[in-house]
Amino acid sequence: MIEAPNPKIDVKTKRFIGHIRGKHPGPTLIFFGGIHGNEKSGVTALENVFKELENNAFTYHGSIYGLKGNLPALLKGKRFLEKDLNRIWTKSNINGLKEGKNRDLLIEEKELLEIHGLIQDILELEKGPFYFIDYHTTSSKTLPFITINDALINRRFSKLFPVPIILGIEEYLEGPLLSYINERGYVSLGFESGQHTEEMAIKNSIAFTWLAMVFSGFLHKGDIKDFQKYYGQLQKSAENNSNFYEIVYRHPIDDIDGFKMMEGFRSFEEVIQGTPLAIEKDEFILAEKDAIIFMPLYQEQGEEGFFLIRKLPIWVLALSAFLRRTKFGSLLQVLPGVSWANKEKELLLVNTKIAQFFTKPFFHLLGYRNRVLDKTYFIMNNRELTARNEMYRKTWWYRITIWMSS
């Protein structure tokens, strides 16, 4: 465990894919590949990009880090060995691990502590603005897509990439790395580049890395000759789809042996009401209404069978951006049935028996995403209250006025 922050970061360890620090001031980019050990595309892509960077004499502004995620699982080519490294980044869990509760740590808990220490060191050693990007792949066929926690800084930065964007995954997943980073206020994007082993998944992550380096200002667009090629490749892979979507349903599985997805679905495929989606405990699971299927599970490890998503209309995005700027959302605790859940005033506790007039979409508009506690209560987390807007205010992409954030 790294207890005291190390003033110098040792980049010679196996964790590092690469690191470059430019002479000129600029952003800090932190890329992760292989947080899931069976998803190597991101690692391969980053290795490829760092090789290119080292062979060329670009002018760099700021710093870039390429980090490997779950080292022991990567060696075995498994999603994880003892615990999913992308489901244990909750504040309470991390604090518990750091306090060292006299027990042997699991493999992934050790990985978490090491990565956590590195993130701390980088945040202390480098200047912002910080960009965290985490590479994944899926077991099904898919268009490449971005997942973000729903903060406006994330929306704005991810909108620059010509791929679909999925909002609100934080409501459905416990403890992903990016939610932890986003809770601390930094821009953080997950990029799912394709199916685990397909060549295109590597190519898409390579293209994404180059675009991210340009969009963040680490490289100047004019300095790299293939910018248009990379942009065009992502656009084509994503079939010109750059819509925003919201997750409306997660199908949890407690017994993976009793669950089997019907063959042949791919993410973003539209299904009509009544379509059999999976078999669970010898019964068909049917689509209850017309829907868009997302991340159907075709592998032996995982906690979600599939998700359903819906396209977000432009007016919803624009209205929510407007409401958030008015800070209306920070006044909700005066309403009956709504109170602060912690002293930092970043979580709202909602009693659904009293605050019946609220619906989930209403809270979503204001930037709140909920986690259900029990039948009566749910807890709301507002990304806008913790977002470090000040850090990004001077970037070119923050300032451009576009429909979604005007």
Q: Which positions touch Zn ion (CB under 5 A)?
A: 36, 39, 136
CB of 288 to Zn ion, least distance (A): 27
Give the DSSP letter string of 113-161.
Answer: HHHHHHHHHHHHHS-S-EEEEEEEEESSB---EEEE-S-HHHHHHHTTS
Taking the least distance from each CB to Zn ion, the nearer of 297 and 341 is 297
Taking the least distance from each CB to Zn ion, the nearer of 39 and 121 is 39
Taking the least distance from each CB to Zn ion, the nearer of 56 and 299 is 299
Taking the least distance from each CB to Zn ion, the nearer of 36 and 383 is 36
> In 44-79, which positions are buried (b, 16+ CB within 10 angstroms) versus exposed (e)?
bbbbbbbeebeeeebebbbbbbbbbbbbbbbeeeeb
Taking the least distance from each CB to Zn ion, the nearer of 36 and 40 is 36
Choose among 180, 83, 192, 204: nearest CA to 132. Answer: 180
CB of 295 to Zn ion, least distance (A): 10
Taking the least distance from each CB to Zn ion, the nearer of 36 and 364 is 36
Taking the least distance from each CB to Zn ion, the nearer of 304 and 346 is 304
Amino acid at 218: F
Pull the structure tokens for residue 172. 């459905």
Q: How far apart are CA 215 and CA 406, in angstroms?
A: 19
Taking the least distance from each CB to Zn ion, the nearer of 202 and 385 is 202
CB of 193 to Zn ion, least distance (A): 10
376 Cα distance to chain centroid: 29
CB of 39 to Zn ion, least distance (A): 5
**Residue with nearest beta carbon to Zn ion:** 136
CB of 266 to Zn ion, least distance (A): 16
* Cβ atoms of 144 and 162 closer than 8 Å: no
Collect all residues with Cβ–Cβ distance below 8 Å to 93 and sequence separation of at least 6: 175
Block residue for tokens 């019964």: 283
Collect all residues with Cβ–Cβ distance below 8 Å to 177 and sequence separation of at least 6: 32, 35, 85, 86, 89, 115, 134
CB of 36 to Zn ion, least distance (A): 4
CB of 40 to Zn ion, least distance (A): 11
CB of 337 to Zn ion, least distance (A): 37
Taking the least distance from each CB to Zn ion, the nearer of 256 and 379 is 256
Pull the structure tokens for residue 40. 């190597």
Taking the least distance from each CB to Zn ion, the nearer of 139 and 320 is 139
Pull the structure tokens for residue 187. 């821009």
CB of 154 to Zn ion, least distance (A): 18
* Cβ atoms of 59 and 220 closer than 8 Å: yes
CB of 290 to Zn ion, least distance (A): 28
* Rg from Cα positions in the chain: 21
Q: List the Cα angle 348/304/285 in 5-degree steps.
A: 110
- Count CA atoms within 13 Å of residue 68 on its CB side: 22
